[in-house]
A and B are shown apart, each in its own frame.
Chain A
Amino acid sequence: MLRTRGLTKRFGGLTAVDAVDFDLGGDELCSLIGPNGAGKTTFFNLLTGVLEPTEGTVELRTGPASTDGASGAGDDGNGDGDDWRDLTGAAPHEVANLGVHRSYQVTNVFANSTVLENVRVAAQAADGAGTNFWRNAGQLDRYIEEAYDILDRVGLADSADVPARALSHGAKRQLEVGVALAGDPDVLLLDEPNAGVSSESVDRVVDLIEDVAADHAVLLVEHNMDIVMEVSDRVVVLNQGAVIADDEPAAVRDDPAVQRAYLGGYEPGTAGGDAAEGTGDPDGADGTDGGEPA
């Protein structure tokens, strides 16, 4: 569905993302884990056109799939029925219009608009209807209905008329996913949808992730290892910008290199399901790293 080849991003002397070859299958939920500062968010920004890669390519499959395998490895895009579209260097709105949408680690919605309008304006964008200047947006029921469907799905239908800024933190995280969903994506990149969510609300967000994964290709950044083990089809581990493991959850968990770099003696279900944290990275400094015990 989405693949990168040799994707690299350097900031001055720092290599944030280092020659990453990555494949996301069409019906897959792949988790991206790694210590703070491993380059997960930078990787997201490269995929969505926010940053331009120093080297390497990002491609999206736009044609029919010959294989929908979990890894997609071996697809070279030549003569096997797949059409790949080069996303390297595309602007964020172009990436979005091709069906790759993302949510943000720190809630990033239209704060003064209502919850409904947040989702409605995204649904309208997916249809290319933003240039319509002659109809009254309040009378275009299609987008309003679509928005209500999505609010139902993310569990916010009751808060439709509340300004987004007034939502609780957990509800904001749900809205964050809702806005990304409203763009009718094929590929959904979720950047820590659980960040800072209280333990009572985590289940709701996890259910939402699984629900969304049923009909989207999902790439999930997540720190809570219990959730990663539970929901993922595949886990990719990033350390210092490079992929150090790419396998099924159980295999990744038992990988000694991963244990060393990140998991640090993780046992499923123990208190503090979060993997190694607090390595002095600015990512973790804002306290949104989902530090709730599982």
Chain B
Amino acid sequence: MNSGLSAEFTALLPRIETLVVVLFFALFAMSFDFISGYTGYLSFGHAAFYGTGAYLVALAANDKLPLLGPETPFMLLLVLAGVAAAALALAIGSVSFRLSGVYFAMITLGFSQVLYVFVRDWDFVSTAPRDGVAVTEKLEGFQIGVPGVDALNVAIGQLTGDSVEGLLGFITLSPTEVSFYAIGAVVLVCYLAMQRLVHSPFGRTLIAIRENEERARAIGYNTYAYKLRAFVASGFFAGVAGALFVGFRRSVTPENGFYFLVAGDALLVSIIGGFGTLAGPLYGELFDAGVREFLSKEGGGGGLLPYLRANVGDATLATDIYNGLTVAEATDTFLNGHAALYVGLLFVLFVLYVPNGLLGTARDRMGGTLSKAVPRRLRRWFDG
């Protein structure tokens, strides 16, 4: 694209690599929102399920697990990762749901930190467990698609993925773009499944528990059993998200799998996107990743800093502002590597002024879910 604004678009829009990460991390954040936003129980240890899914795929691909090898189809691994995480959720949840409020959050956090420390020092996973596991035994990419039909499978990964050229005569996609659509399809299926749960009588019961657990019990709901079921379902989808993460990145470390701040990021994007909205965390993650990338210097050409460097005149950049500090140095000081700081400030502003998050606020304004409110508005607009 060579329009007049291409430099601005390059600076503003996240790269495709970032968007792939947005997809699978958003799935994880949605699974976090499914339990925390709908039942009101903050699952601070949610990283345990993400890490479990991720490690299961990495270990299977390195032929470390019985019955599973590098040849195991990735679609099967996705399900197994979900099941393993769900089983872990059943174990953790059956203990943790005996507590409520901040104690629940703390005990789930405790469980996930125990697993984090354990995985960090467990030399079964790799020779240097602190550095995590990289997929070394499987050279080709993990394949997403319809099981059993080769033509309907694509490999994902930045280096190992398939590229598409001339599909239908005009569609050409890089491996990362193929990964984007393939992972997006899995995320979409998972989202639709969770949405189904949220709108079912079961989901309504979860909302009743969030609104008033005492009354929910008094009208005949065994709230413990309901919360546990929701936790297991949530763990399943968190495990799938972790599996997608390794499928694309082909490595995982204790820090980006099991560490409690992984769940912290899910909480952050859930609040930015809208707590208890299910789809909100996707927008929250998109917003968060977009802002981070815009404010960081990484990414050839993208972001604010490279944009300023390229487009602000040399004379301006060399201007002395204060005591020998030039404009170039000042922008460097304030922008370079400080994305997290600004995101933190934005987060504070969100909690203060947009407590319902992006999607929650949009729904409040429109008076209902967007899928219903937007067509209604359009119809009214067209009808005059």
Contacts and interface: CB of A to CB of B under 8 A. Distances in A.
Query: Do the two chains bind?
Result: yes
Interface of A: 48, 50, 91-94, 96-97, 101-102, 104, 108-113, 117, 120-122, 124-126, 129-138, 140, 143, 179-180, 182-183
B200 A125 contact: no
Interface stretch (B10-18, B220-228, B347-355): B220-228
Interface string B209-222: 00110111111111
Given A129-B201, A136-B196, A137-B201, 18 more contacts: A92-B217, A94-B222, A96-B218, A97-B220, A101-B219, A104-B215, A110-B207, A110-B208, A112-B211, A122-B220, A125-B205, A133-B200, A135-B201, A137-B199, A140-B201, A143-B201, A180-B219, A183-B220
A151 to B, nearest CB: 16
A111 B211 contact: yes
Contacts of B199: 136-138
B191 to A, nearest CB: 15
Given A91-B222, A96-B220, A130-B226, A108 B214 contact: yes
B203 interface: yes
Given A91-B217, A108-B214, A117-B204, A134 B196 contact: yes
Contacts of A131: 201-202, 229
Contact of B211 (A102, A113, A125, A183): A113
B108 to A, nearest CB: 22
A130 B217 contact: no
Q: What's the dominant secondary structure at chain B's contact region?
A: helix
A137 B219 contact: no
Nearest to A119: B219
Contact of B197 (A110, A124, A133): A133
A117 B206 CA distance: 13
Interface of B: 196-197, 199-205, 207-208, 211-212, 214-223, 226, 229
Closest 3 CB pairs of A and B: A96-B220, A110-B211, A133-B202
A94 B224 CA distance: 12
B275 to A, nearest CB: 13
Contacts of B201: 124, 129-133, 135, 137, 140, 143
Contacts of B202: 130-133
Contact of A136 (B200, B205, B219, B222): B200
B81 to A, nearest CB: 21
B262 to A, nearest CB: 27
7 contacts: A110-B207, A113-B208, A121-B205, A121-B207, A124-B205, A137-B201, A180-B219
A130 B217 CA distance: 12
A124 B197 CA distance: 15
Given A109-B212, A110-B212, A93 B223 contact: yes
B200 A93 contact: no
Nearest to B204: A137
A125 B219 contact: yes
A255 B57 CA distance: 78
A91 B215 CA distance: 13
A110 B217 CA distance: 12
B215 A109 contact: yes
B47 to A, nearest CB: 25
Contacts of B229: 131
Contact of A48 (B205, B208, B211, B218): B218
A230 B144 CA distance: 72
A135 B198 CA distance: 10
A91 B229 CA distance: 19
A126 B220 contact: yes
Contacts of A182: 219
Contacts of B222: 91, 93-94
Contacts of A120: 204
Contacts of B223: 93
**Most chain B CB neighbours (cut-off 10 Å) among A92, A111, A117:** A92
A120 B203 CA distance: 13
Contact of A111 (B212, B214, B219, B226): B212
A48 B215 CA distance: 12
A92 B338 CA distance: 53
A133 B194 CA distance: 10
A17 to B, nearest CB: 19
B200 to A, nearest CB: 5
B382 to A, nearest CB: 26
Contacts of B218: 48, 50, 92-93, 96, 101-102, 108
Given A124-B204, A133-B200, A96 B211 contact: no
A185 to B, nearest CB: 10
A112 B208 CA distance: 9
Contact of A125 (B207, B214, B221): B221
Contacts of A122: 219-220
Contacts of A180: 219
B225 to A, nearest CB: 9
Given A112-B211, A130-B226, A132-B201, A93 B196 contact: no
**Most chain A CB neighbours (cut-off 10 Å) among B196, B202, B215, B217:** B215
A121 B204 contact: yes
Nearest to B206: A130
A126 to B, nearest CB: 6
A63 B219 CA distance: 22
B339 to A, nearest CB: 35
**Most chain B CB neighbours (cut-off 10 Å) among A91, A96, A133:** A133
B219 A121 contact: yes
**Most chain A CB neighbours (cut-off 10 Å) among B202, B219, B222:** B219
